[in-house]
Amino acid sequence: MKNMANMLKQAQEMQEKLQRMQEEMEEMEVMGTAGGGMVSATVTGKGKLRRVTVDPALLVADEKEVLEDLVVAAVNDAQGKAEARLQEETQKLMGGLPLPPGMKLPF
């Protein structure tokens, strides 16, 4: 019974740590770029788009499609970095706890 109580306590502590990490990820910002830095996108650690910056040199009517492609690429880059950062932080928090194949954290 003592082991069960310890396991429940550890599970509760882990849940609290995961909650804090999720809150921190919402506040964290990650930037992705495209076009050699001519377009940048900033997302939260959870992938929510916060800001897009475009070099004025790209604001030419004939370059509309290029600009649109670069914005998409920058957002995707930022979201990929945010996902990698989330996985990294989760692994630190979990201390190498093995998870079943295909299971991702946070749940």
- Residue extents of the structural domains in the chain: 28-94
Q: What is the pTM of this model?
A: 0.70
- Distance, in Å, from the CA atom of 106 to the CA atom of 21, rounded to the nearest integer, reads 9
CB 81 within 8 A of CB 49: no
- Widest CA span in the chain: 72
* CATH class of the domain at 28-94: alpha beta
- Distance, in Å, from the CA atom of 7 to the CA atom of 70, rounded to the nearest integer, reads 49
What SS3 class is residue 94? helix
Which pLDDT does position 36 carry in this prediction? 95
Which pLDDT does position 3 carry in this prediction? 80
| Residue-averaged pLDDT of the chain | 85
- Which tokens is 18 given? 């995961």
Q: Taking the CA atoms of the chain, what radius of gyration do you get in angstroms?
A: 19
pLDDT higher than threshold 80 for residue 95: no
Which pLDDT does position 103 carry in this prediction? 58
> Percentage of the chain with pLDDT > 70?
87
Residue 102 confidence class, pLDDT cut points 50, 70, 90: low
- Distance, in Å, from the CA atom of 15 to the CA atom of 32, rounded to the nearest integer, reads 30
pLDDT higher than threshold 90 for residue 63: no
